[in-house]
Amino acid sequence: MRDLVYPDGTAVLTGAASGIGEALAHGLARRGSHLVLLDRDAERLDAVVAALRAAHPGRRVDSHLVDLADAEATARVVEAVRAAHPRIRLVVNNAGVALGGRFDQVTLEEFGWVVDINFRAVVQVTHALLPALKAEPGSHLVNVSSLFGLIAPPGQAAYAASKFAVRGFTEALRHELAADGVGVTCVHPGGIRTRIAQSARVGSGVDPDEYETSRRKFEKLLTIDPARAADTILDGVRRRRGRVLIGWSATLPDLVARLLPGSYGRLLALGARRRPAVSPQEGM
């Protein structure tokens, strides 16, 4: 498959108001893409759109406010996007949320909220926009999984379940869509410096003080600039890479999980002795 051509193509991006999503929006604009941006944070989304239009007056930048936890609202927005853009060159499912707490410390509602946004919305957006991708020669789909789509540590049952699901879904689509000429990439970020730790929910059964202490310590591990992460993703997508891992905090656990698939938990337990077990995950 030939390299992806960014200039003059339309890119649809979820979770575009901050973090990796905001950096991806700017990276895509610099590469010549027209943008359709989705997020639930109106103020931040408006600021991103204004900055993009000021920096790249030749790019079309549309935006839609939507909470991906709401399946009906998501359906209305993606159908509007498809109607306005019958041919789409790139779809990036980047939006994601985190939830701290062991499985026995979270409610089913809290667990379902994570799965809805991190996985169901990915499936829903992809299903709705796939005809537009197939109509555009040389198109590409990107789904952002996680470091926790490679390993599953304690305290992240909901998040890991959703991100492993994204990984499996994306790998199946890569094989299914090859004959249609649609490229597919699964992204596994490591410790990206974003707001996901700050905005993570805390399980109802988690002690708030314990979680806050853990969050502050864990945030110190989030060292990778979102702009660097975005460039790594977009360069990998341009070359049609099936997987993009960002940072040693993703590549090393991936190697360990491959070498010790049934026993890497022992290494996680050793690491947990040096920091609290309950912690929000790396950034989107």
Please state the pTM of the whole predicted model.
Answer: 0.91
Tallying the residues shown for the chain, one arrives at 284
Where does the pLDDT of residue 280 fall: very low under 50, low under 70, confident under 90, or very high at 90 and above?
very low
What percent of the chain has pLDDT above 70? 87
211 catalytic residue (yes or no): no
Flag whether 284 is in a domain.
Answer: no
Residue 70 inside a domain? The answer is yes
Is the pLDDT at 38 greater than 80? The verdict is yes
Strands 99-100 and 90-93: unpaired
- Residues spanned by the domain of 172: 10-272
CB 131 within 8 A of CB 160: no
Joined together, the tokens standing for residue 28 give 């895509």
Cα dihedral 48, 235, 164, 225, rounded to 10, equals -50
Specify if 278 maps to a domain: no
- What is the tens place of the pLDDT at every residue in 95-151? 999 998 999 999 999 999 999 999 999 999 999 999 999 999 999 999 999 999 999
Residue 50: partners with Cβ closer than 8 Å, 6 or more residues away:
none
Token look-up 């759109």 returns 49
Buried b (16+ CB within 10 A) or exposed e, 168-178: ebbbebbeebe
Identify the bridge partners of residue 34 per DSSP, sorted by sequence position.
Answer: 10
DSSP 116: I
Q: Is 283 a member of any domain?
A: no
- Asked if residue 4 belongs to a domain, the reply is no
Q: What is the largest CA-CA distance in the chain?
A: 53
Three-state DSSP state, 188: strand
pLDDT of residue 72: 98
pLDDT in tens, 217-265: 556 666 688 999 999 999 999 999 999 999 888 888 899 899 998 888 8
In what helix (H) or strand (E) does residue 26 lie, and over which residues does it extend? helix 19-30
CATH of the domain at 164: 3.40.50.720
Residue of 6, 159, 211, 264 marked catalytic: 159
Helix (H), strand (E) at residue 77: helix 71-84
The count of structural domains within the chain is 1
Asked if the structure places residue 3 within a domain, the reply is no
